[in-house]
Each structure stands twice: as structure tokens, then as C-alpha cells.
């Protein structure tokens, strides 16, 4: 049996196991996808242990994506982005640990499926972590004018320099949000019920694209976007398409994205039922 897994901290919210196990079953593979909580300082040990135990592939989520660059052999895209979210173990004698980034592809698919026009758009990304790096790099390559707003202004400016964009602090959001054609939240704010949105609803406008990469619940940001008649996109599509790309890297097979999407949304509905009971 092949073993795959997602590593992160926190990890209990992850729907990757439900999604990937549905895909593995649909492909008829003798395989299982698990999840493990791994702190950033323990990532090297976790990767070496997974290789020693014969794991076939891993996904990495918050806060491990940037740390992984120091450990794996990253491809050119992951190196340029500055973050790794997918790991494979070589089948050769060296058994190399290889790193990739599929987040940018997943985000691009989510935006384009919702009708977003990327070229010459003004894209504002809130957050400067691993997902933000992937999305900023991808949108910049597609011709968007990218701005980054982050709690640490210097971190935002560092990322903005990498994509020929502009960096700001969160105190600039009231001026930046109304001008943005595409607004993307890549922070973890909204993952927990009751998290206050970083974006005031009054800053949003009809027709604006508002994309929250959080997928485990409908966030306050998306609720506000719907009320403002903006186009509200949750993180499910990004999760599905980045996961599909990862599965194809590991197996060489075409991933069943429709099966994966249904599995995630079914799991979300089950969670909501469990909360209500």
C-alpha cells in the first residue's frame, strides 16, 4: 500500500485526507492519505522519517512551506516562489526528497473558473506567507499588478520586490481594498468561527472578486463580500486543484478533480451537521 499525508500545525481542520482518499479510490489505487501535526522545528525529522518509512508523497501546509526549502531539492518554480507545498520521494538509489509548489496553479484555476480576468488587473493579496508567495508569483506572471498587505510591512515589501509589486501594512487596507479588482486573503484569519475580518465590508464593491483561501468554513470576509454583491470565492477550488496537481506529480495519473471537489464539499456539510447536533 502507498502512503501519502499532509503535514501542518494546526492540521485537524484539513480536508485533504477526505479529498485525496476519494481520488485514490476513484483511481483504483491501493493507497491511503493521512494527516499529521508537525511543528516547524520538527519538519526535517518528519521528512526524513517519512522517507525512511517509505511514504510516497506529502503535502505541506501552514507553517511549513517556507521551511521546507531548506530541506528538500526544490524545482525551479518552488524556488522562485519561495515555498514548497508538495513533496515526493525519489525512487532512485539516492531517494531524494523533491519539492514542488502547486498552490499558485490551484489559485489561478479558482479565479479563472469564477470569471476573473487576470491580465492588467489590480490584485491585492493580504498576507505574505507561503500561499501568498505562490499566488503573487503566479498572478504577476499572468500580467496582474500585484500589491501585498501584511502585518509586517517589511515582509510585504520583501515579497512585493520578488514579483515587481508594491508592499504595504494592514493599516493601508482601507485605501487599497476599494481600488482592487481582485482581493485575496491568504492569512489564517477566518479559519475559526468568530474571527474578525481584516476587511471592513464597506470597502468592498459590486463586481469585485473576493477570494478567501480558507476552505474549512464560509468566512466573515466572504459573507461581507456577498452582501456587497462582490464575487465571493471560497478556498475549496484552490484546495482541489492544487491537490489534483500534487496527485499527478506523485502518481503520473490524471486526477479526478470532480470527485475531489464533491468529497470536500460533502465533508464540509458533514461538519456543519455535526456542529448543529
Distances (CA, A) of 21 to 51, 92, 218: 20, 26, 23
Which of 194-211 are b and which e, b meaning 16 or more Cβ less than 10 Å from the residue's Cβ?
A: ebebbbeeebbeeebbbb
Which of 42-70 are b and which e, b meaning 16 or more Cβ less than 10 Å from the residue's Cβ?
A: ebeebbeebbeeebbbbbbbbbbbbbbbe
Sign of the four-CA dihedral 104, 73, 50, 26: positive
Pairing between β-strand 145-150 and β-strand 166-169 as defined by DSSP bridges: parallel
65 is catalytic: yes
Dist. CA 74–CA 62, nearest whole Å:
18
Residue 184 in grid coordinates: 485575496
Q: Which residue of the set 2, 40, 65, 117 is catalytic?
A: 65
Catalytic sites, residue numbers: 65
Amino acid at each position: 500500500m502507498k502512503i501519502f499525508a499532509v503535514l501542518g500545525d494546526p492540521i485537524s481542520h484539513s480536508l485533504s485526507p477526505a479529498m485525496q482518499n476519494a481520488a485514490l479510490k476513484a483511481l483504483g489505487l491501493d493507497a491511503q492519505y493521512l494527516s499529521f501535526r508537525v511543528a516547524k522545528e520538527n519538519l526535517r525529522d518528519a521528512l526524513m522519517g517519512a522517507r525512511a518509512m517509505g511514504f510516497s508523497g506529502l503535502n505541506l501546509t501552514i507553517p511549513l512551506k517556507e521551511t521546507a526549502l531548506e530541506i528538500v531539492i526544490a524545482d525551479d518554480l518552488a524556488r522562485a516562489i519561495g515555498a514548497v507545498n508538495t513533496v515526493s520521494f525519489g525512487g532512485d538509489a539516492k531517494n531524494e526528497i523533491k519539492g514542488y509548489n502547486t498552490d499558485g496553479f490551484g489559485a489561478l484555476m479558482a479565479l479563472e473558473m469564477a470569471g476573473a480576468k487576470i491580465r492588467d488587473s489590480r490584485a491585492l493579496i493580504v498576507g505574505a506567507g507561503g500561499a501568498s508567495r505562490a499566488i503573487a508569483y503566479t498572478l504577476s506572471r499572468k500580467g496582474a499588478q500585484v500589491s501585498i498587505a501584511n502585518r509586517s510591512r517589511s515582509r510585504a515589501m520583501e515579497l512585493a520586490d520578488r514579483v515587481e509589486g508594491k508592499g504595504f501594512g494592514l493599516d493601508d487596507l482601507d485605501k487599497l481594498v476599494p481600488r482592487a479588482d481582485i482581493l485575496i486573503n491568504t492569512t489564517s484569519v477566518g479559519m475559526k468561527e468568530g474571527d474578525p475580518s481584516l476587511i471592513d465590508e464597506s470597502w468592498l464593491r459590486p463586481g469585485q472578486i473576493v477570494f478567501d483561501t480558507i476552505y474549512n468554513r464560509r468566512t466573515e470576509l466572504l459573507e461581507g463580500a456577498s452582501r456587497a454583491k462582490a464575487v465571493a470565492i471560497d478556498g475549496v477550488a484552490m484546495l482541489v486543484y492544487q491537490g489534483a496537481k500534487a496527485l499527478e506529480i506523485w502518481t503520473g495519473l490524471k486526477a479526478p478533480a470532480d470527485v475531489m471537489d464533491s468529497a470536500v464539499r460533502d465533508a464540509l456539510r458533514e461538519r456543519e451537521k455535526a456542529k448543529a447536533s
